[in-house]
């Protein structure tokens, strides 16, 4: 299956195949991801978390819309701002907060307190702190999946900073040459920590790099979850059909600092206020309200449901034990 693309826009000829219920479900995941992030920040400020606290505020549409295009047997290699993709892929709130609070019954058995975990049951792997290093690993999984004839797709994410690292080029080139079922999403959220995109690369569009690998590449509005889903669905279908990888650049804004300890004072005044006008949640809410799929009563009911789910998961995690100190090195060193 071949797809005509414009390298500066989303794929040509795409059309929404989402039902009203599916669009409502997308809104639920957007809201759930936002409220999970808010809860993580609260726990961090209360001193109940150690390590970094990262949010996807402003980036929810990219994480949710992209993962929504995947099937259960597909592979996900997310980054630290992609909590929404974990939720869409089926990760439980209990596991998320056990992990954030570094409890013994977390996926990393209390050895980590962020999103650095793997859950093979859901085919979620990562993230690793050296973000670009995930790309060769994800490409390797795509190769293994192809050899096993799984008909699975591997979706991986990288930031506007990480895409300038050598692993990006080597991994994407291998995926292209070997025609692997791989979708790489560049989350262009304007800053690599404190470095603006204008000082990172000279290309007008990061998706322009795709032509050098002989693969389709396009740039989309990463705050429009419906557009993200539609574009990623084309790329996923293309990969599953055996037509190789696609590079997608989503344009977003990192609405908080790099982490909770970063005040983002380097962001030009007014920039965040301007991007707030494109809040992913408000954009989809307006669409659903206009189409009478959502109303104030059903919105309130959803918000109360989410708040209850998060509170129960946090309480479960807080009541769970930490790992004993003697377990710290278990599984780290060979016998």
Write out the catalytic residue numbers: 254, 258, 266
Determine the Cα–Cα distance for residues 217 and 7; give it in Å rounded to an integer.
5
265 Cβ contact partners less than 8 Å away, ≥ 6 residues apart:
none
How far the first Cα of the chain sits from its last, in Å, is 50
Half-sphere exposure of 334 (CA within 13 A, CB side): 0
| Residue with the two structure tokens 């209360």 | 46
Determine the Cα–Cα distance for residues 246 and 217; give it in Å rounded to an integer.
6
Half-sphere exposure of 129 (CA within 13 A, CB side): 6
How many CB atoms are located within 10 Å of the residue 248 CB? 29
| Token pair listed for 85 | 């993709």
Determine the Cα–Cα distance for residues 109 and 303; give it in Å rounded to an integer.
31
Q: What is the largest CA-CA distance in the chain?
A: 62
Helix (H, G, I), strand (E, B) or coil at 199: helix
Determine the Cα–Cα distance for residues 257 and 266; give it in Å rounded to an integer.
9
Specify which residues 183 forms β-bridges with.
Answer: 155, 246
- Check if the beta carbon of residue 223 is closer than 8 Å to that of residue 30: no
């Amino acid at each position: 299956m071949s797809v005509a693309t414009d390298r500066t826009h989303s794929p040509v000829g795409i059309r929404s195949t989402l039902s009203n219920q599916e669009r409502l479900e997308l809104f639920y995941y957007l809201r759930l991801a936002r409220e999970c992030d808010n809860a993580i920040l609260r726990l961090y400020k209360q001193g109940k978390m150690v390590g970094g606290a990262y949010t996807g505020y402003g980036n929810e549409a990219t994480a949710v819309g992209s993962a929504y295009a995947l099937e259960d047997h597909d592979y996900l290699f997310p980054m630290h701002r992609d909590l929404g993709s974990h939720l869409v892929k089926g990760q439980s709130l209990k596991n998320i907060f056990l992990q954030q609070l570094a409890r013994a019954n977390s996926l990393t058995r209390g050895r980590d307190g962020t999103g650095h975990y793997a859950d093979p049951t859901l085919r979620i792997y990562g993230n690793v702190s050296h973000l670009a290093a995930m790309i060769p690993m994800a490409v390797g999984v795509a190769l293994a999946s192809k050899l096993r004839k799984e008909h699975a797709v591997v979706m991986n994410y990288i930031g506007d900073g990480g895409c300038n690292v050598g692993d990006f080029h080597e991994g994407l080139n291998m995926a292209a040459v070997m025609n692997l079922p791989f979708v790489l999403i560049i989350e262009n959220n304007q800053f690599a920590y404190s470095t603006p995109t204008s000082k990172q690369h000279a290309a007008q569009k990061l998706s322009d790099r795709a032509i050098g690998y002989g693969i389709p590449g396009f740039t989309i509005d990463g705050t429009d979850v419906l557009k993200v889903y539609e574009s990623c669905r084309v790329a996923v279908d293309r990969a599953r059909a055996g037509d190789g990888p696609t590079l997608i650049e989503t344009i977003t804004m990192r609405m908080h600092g790099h982490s909770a300890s970063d005040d983002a004072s380097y962001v030009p005044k007014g920039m965040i206020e301007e991007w707030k006008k494109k809040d992913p949640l408000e954009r989809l809410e307006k669409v659903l309200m206009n189409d009478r799929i959502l109303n104030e009563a059903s919105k309130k009911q959803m918000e109360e449901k989410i708040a209850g789910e998060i509170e129960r998961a946090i309480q479960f995690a807080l009541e769970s034990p930490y790992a004993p100190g003697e377990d710290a090195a278990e599984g780290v060193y060979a016998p």
